[in-house]
């Protein structure tokens, strides 16, 4: 901490509330007289090197917004009336404890579902609470097919036994100046626009940093973006067909002998079987499926294979293909067979920094935290484990599509309550939002932990608990590197951190199992594997890069650092990269990647396409908002006042739509309002619109729910649906729609 003129400057690490993001940026909080006065990027932090996004720079407006929830609230009217009264924390905790214990005693702990939003600093606290309550049903409710990063994690895990990321020197403290690192000669950016978003465990502008140092870009994106206009190759594919493209690229690289023969021979299993599978994905057939010219596919595939080192950076669009896990598996095979795995400038294996677990991504991490007996007991009851082997064996989340059906039907056992934390289920992630609304209304008791009222709090909450921003909490982060901590420097109202709230509730539900006296004690216990304490981390400036060893690249498979037995190779059954997945084979699933046509498309549903001739892409990111957050923050909202839809000029002319006009997007499920933005960024038969829109300035009580029924695009997204693995398949980027002018009078 530095101090000057009464202003104290605290370095910290960003994760979640406030910025709302996946986090890890180093920021400096300026505090005077106990109040936050401004935020600046921390130039000494290797992650972002002093940079800050608009959401962080607007943190003061977020923290002190007049509409922020700063005290616990209890519903006093009927659900949906928007009538709440202030209560004490003791009353809030007592009410939650009594109601949830009553449900547990009558129906079992599995009758309570614990629902989180995506990515942020919540996976640790909410899994901690769910497991201490005894519920197996921790879930991203509404996110069809768990279609956010989990399919990519699964695709990597079944292939390499680990996760990997594009190497932009982020594991090295000297970053781009470290002599160990090599600039990737080419980076494939697949289904992601990194200049406007920081995806899972990655800082988007690292791609730009690499471009400045010579990296060429191959962009796989149906839209034109800042990045695509600077790419050497732009593969402008039809939404939902990336799986075919990946298999086609494998076909070219394998048939033309462009793979790394030494690596393949020594370190891969199932090469011949994969080569046989990809024969059906010829360049001409893939061109027909994807709408990318055959010559362009050939050139880009050859360029990637011949440019070493090369990396692949990917995004959410992969998860949302019909077989998201299989698509991720095929893309993983690309960097494996070209020898771009675990090498500088390639795709490097990523593990939690220092071996610290904050957010248990895998079953192995859950076993380490909670023990085999408890995890097995909970897995047996978890929704989706009997139907989907990956849900049972890979990640400890309940399957969200089955979860909402079970809430609705009560079969095979009833769900009676929900603990919803950092998740605007109705206004944000829920596919087929009306179905989720109707089902969740049936619950006996709902707790929502959040910072602002939104459609979910208004429609469902019996108790609302006020959460803290990253400036108001003690927490920790080990998502890849570096190891970081957040420490509390201000207090707003009676807000508590997610860890504080869940720690208190967990102690009430399982007093013998929660052995720590405070959240900091728990953090110290988690940090003990790194031989660090929370206080030491704060004194060091809140971050530390991992030392050489299993948590830091490179070539760990050649040094015996990836396997528990210390042998050379990868963390798989065979010790090799499994192009033929032994895990999938054991679980009765196809061990090789495959392509599946989207459930709605010109090919699979031609009659529907005739009626609704536009492919709607949703979810492109804005640097001003995180999912459905920040709509009430003045600096951010004034830059993007309304939810727009991108429409090609030819399409606008066909429908008689002018730029800036309010229109409807429509299909058989309903219609949603959008402001037309006429642009060449999309193809004539595509439209693109942002997700998660609701209007904080509108009436919050029912029937309005902040305009949810007019502006929530997920009202038009089919579901629930998922891939054969249980992960992937949400139809957020391939829904068929049409456009309709709004008649005079708004009808």
Q: Is the peptide bond before 51 cis (omega within 30 degrees of 0)?
A: no
> Is residue 315 within 8 Å of residue 147, measured between CB atoms?
no
d(CA 497, CA 488): 9
Tokens, residue 32: 């005077």
- The angle subtended at Cα 302 by Cα 297 and Cα 308, nearest 5°, is 135
Tens of pLDDT, residues 442-501:
999 999 999 999 999 999 999 999 999 999 999 999 999 999 999 999 999 999 999 999
| Domains of the chain with CATH codes | 73-139+359-475+494-512 (3.40.50.740), 150-352+563-586 (3.40.228.10), 606-717 (2.40.40.20)
201: confidence class by pLDDT, cuts 50, 70, 90: confident
pLDDT value of residue 20: 87
The closest of 664, 119, 55, 723 to 428, measured between CA atoms, is 119
203's CB contacts (< 8 A; 6+ apart) are 24, 25, 47, 48, 168, 170
Separation in Å, CA 382 to CA 96, 379, 396: 22, 5, 8
Distances (CA, A) of 707 to 109, 513, 620, 687: 35, 44, 21, 22
Q: Return the pLDDT at 1.
A: 65
Q: Which of 80, 85, 86 is nearest to 699 (CA)?
A: 80
Omega into 502 within 30° of 0, i.e. cis? no
Radius of gyration of the chain, Cα coordinates, nearest whole angstrom: 25
- The torsion defined by the Cα of 199, 572, 565 and 172, in degrees rounded to 10, comes to -30
DSSP string, 375-393: HHHHHHHSTTTTT-HHHHH
**Do 336 and 349 form a contact (C-beta atoms < 8 A)?**
no
CA-closest candidate to residue 499, choices 487, 513, 483: 487
Q: How far is CA 518 from CA 291, 475, 499, 501, in A?
A: 57, 12, 10, 11
Q: What is the average pLDDT across 720-727? A: 86
Write out the two tokens for 293: 């010219």
pLDDT given for residue 458 in this prediction: 98
Element (H or E) spanning 219, and its range?
strand 216-220
Residues 673, 710 contacting (CB under 8 angstroms): yes
User: Does residue 391 register a pLDDT over 80?
Assistant: yes
Rounded (5°) CA angle 121-357-1: 60
Per-residue pLDDT tens over the stretch 318-350: 999 999 999 999 999 999 999 999 999 999 999
Helices (H), 382-447: 389-393, 400-409, 433-440
pLDDT > 60? residue 747: no
Max mean pLDDT among 303-317, 618-632, 710-724 falls in: 303-317
* pLDDT at residue 746 greater than cutoff 80: no
Is-contact 95 103, C-beta < 8 A? no
User: Above 70 in pLDDT, residue 569?
Assistant: yes
Which two tokens mark 543? Answer: 């971050």
Q: Are 351 and 561 in contact (CB under 8 A)?
A: no
| pLDDT tens column, 67-93 | 999 999 999 999 999 999 999 999 999
CA 80 from centre of chain = 29
The reported pLDDT for the residue numbered 376 is 84
State pLDDT tens for residues 94-108.
999 999 999 999 999
Chain centroid to Cα 64, Å, comes to 27
Q: Per-residue DSSP letters for 663-688?
A: EEEEETTEEEEEEEEE-TTS-TTEEE
Indicate the pairing of strand 463-466 with strand 216-220: unpaired
- Both structure tokens of 196: 């406007």
Query: Taking 90 as the threshold, does the pLDDT of residue 361 lie above it?
Result: no
Cβ-contact 626, 19 below 8 angstroms: yes
pLDDT at 200: 78
pLDDT at 119: 65
């Amino acid at each position: 901490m530095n101090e000057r003129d009464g202003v104290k400057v605290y370095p910290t690490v960003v994760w979640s509330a406030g910025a709302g993001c996946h986090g890890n940026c180093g920021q400096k909080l300026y505090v005077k007289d106990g109040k936050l006065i401004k935020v600046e990027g921390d130039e000494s932090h290797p992650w972002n090197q002093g940079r800050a996004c608009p959401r962080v720079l607007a943190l003061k407006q977020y923290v002190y917004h007049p509409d922020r929830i700063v005290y616990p609230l209890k519903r006093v009217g009927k659900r949906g009336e928007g009538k709440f009264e202030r209560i004490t924390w003791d009353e809030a905790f007592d009410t939650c404890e009594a109601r949830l214990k009553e449900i547990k005693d009558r129906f079992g702990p599995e009758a309570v579902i614990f629902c989180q939003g995506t990515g942020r600093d919540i996976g640790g606290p909410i899994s901690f609470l769910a497991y201490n309550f005894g519920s197996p049903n921790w879930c991203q409710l509404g996110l069809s097919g768990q279609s956010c990063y989990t399919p990519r994690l699964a695709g990597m895990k079944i292939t390499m036994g680990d996760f990997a990321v594009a190497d932009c020197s982020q594991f090295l403290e000297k970053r781009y100046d470290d002599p160990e690192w090599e600039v990737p000669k080419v980076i494939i950016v697949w289904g992601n626009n990194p200049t406007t978003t920081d995806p899972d465990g990655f800082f988007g502008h690292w791609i730009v940093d690499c471009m400045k140092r010579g990296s060429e870009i191959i962009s796989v994106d149906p839209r034109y973006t800042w990045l695509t206009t600077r790419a050497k190759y732009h593969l402008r594919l039809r939404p939902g067909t990336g799986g075919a493209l990946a298999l086609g690229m494998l076909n070219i690289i394998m048939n033309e002998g462009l793979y790394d023969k030494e690596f393949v021979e020594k370190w891969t299993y199932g090469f011949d079987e994969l080569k046989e599978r990809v024969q059906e994905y010829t360049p001409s057939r893939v061109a027909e499926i994807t709408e990318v010219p055959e010559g362009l596919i050939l050139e880009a595939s050859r360029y990637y294979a011949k440019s070493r080192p090369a990396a692949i950076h990917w995004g959410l669009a992969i998860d949302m293909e019909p077989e998201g896990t299989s698509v991720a598996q095929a893309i993983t095979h690309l960097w494996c067979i070209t020898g771009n795995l675990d090498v500088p400038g390639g795709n490097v294996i990523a593990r939690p920094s220092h071996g610290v677990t904050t957010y248990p991504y895998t079953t192995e991490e859950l076993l380490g935290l909670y023990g085999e007996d408890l995890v097995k007991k909970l897995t047996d009851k978890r929704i989706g484990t009997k139907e989907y082997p990956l849900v049972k064996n890979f990640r400890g989340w309940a399957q969200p599509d089955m979860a909402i059906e079970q809430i609705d039907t009560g079969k095979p056992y009833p769900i009676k309550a929900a603990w919803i934390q950092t998740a605007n289920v109705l206004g944000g992630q829920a596919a087929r939002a009306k179905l989720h609304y109707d089902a969740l209304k049936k619950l006996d008791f709902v707790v929502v932990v959040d910072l602002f009222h939104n459609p979910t709090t208004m429609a469902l909450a019996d108790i609302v608990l006020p959460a803290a921003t990253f400036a108001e909490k003690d927490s920790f982060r080990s998502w890849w590197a570096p190891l970081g901590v957040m420490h509390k420097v201000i207090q707003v109202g009676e807000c508590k951190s997610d860890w504080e709230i869940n720690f208190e509730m967990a102690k009430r539900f399982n007093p013998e199992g929660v052995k720590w006296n405070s959240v900091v004690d728990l953090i110290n216990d988690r940090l003990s594997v790194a031989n660090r304490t929370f206080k030491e981390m704060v004194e060091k400036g809140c971050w530390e890069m991992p030392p050489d060893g299993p948590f830091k690249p490179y070539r760990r498979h050649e040094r015996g650092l990836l396997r528990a037995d210390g042998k050379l190779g990868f963390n798989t059954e065979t010790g090799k990269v499994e192009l033929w997945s032994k895990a999938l084979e054991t679980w009765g699933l196809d061990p090789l990647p495959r392509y599946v046509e989207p459930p709605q498309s010109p090919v699979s549903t031609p009659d529907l396409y005739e009626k609704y001739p536009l492919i709607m892409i949703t979810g492109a990111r804005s640097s001003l908002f995180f999912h459905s957050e920040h709509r009430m923050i003045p600096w951010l909202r004034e830059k993007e006042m309304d939810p727009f839809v991108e429409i090609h000029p030819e399409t606008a002319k066909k429908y008689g739509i002018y730029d800036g006009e309010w229109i409807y997007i429509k299909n058989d499920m309903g219609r949603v309002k959008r402001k037309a933005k006429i642009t060449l960024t999309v193809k004539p038969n595509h439209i693109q619109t942002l997700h998660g829109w609701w209007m904080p300035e509108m009436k919050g009580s029912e029937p309005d729910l902040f305009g949810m029924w007019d502006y929530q695009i997920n009202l038009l997204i089919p579901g629930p649906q998922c891939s054969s693995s249980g992960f992937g398949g949400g139809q957020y980027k391939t829904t068929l729609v049409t456009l309709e002018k709004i008649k005079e009078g708004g009808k």
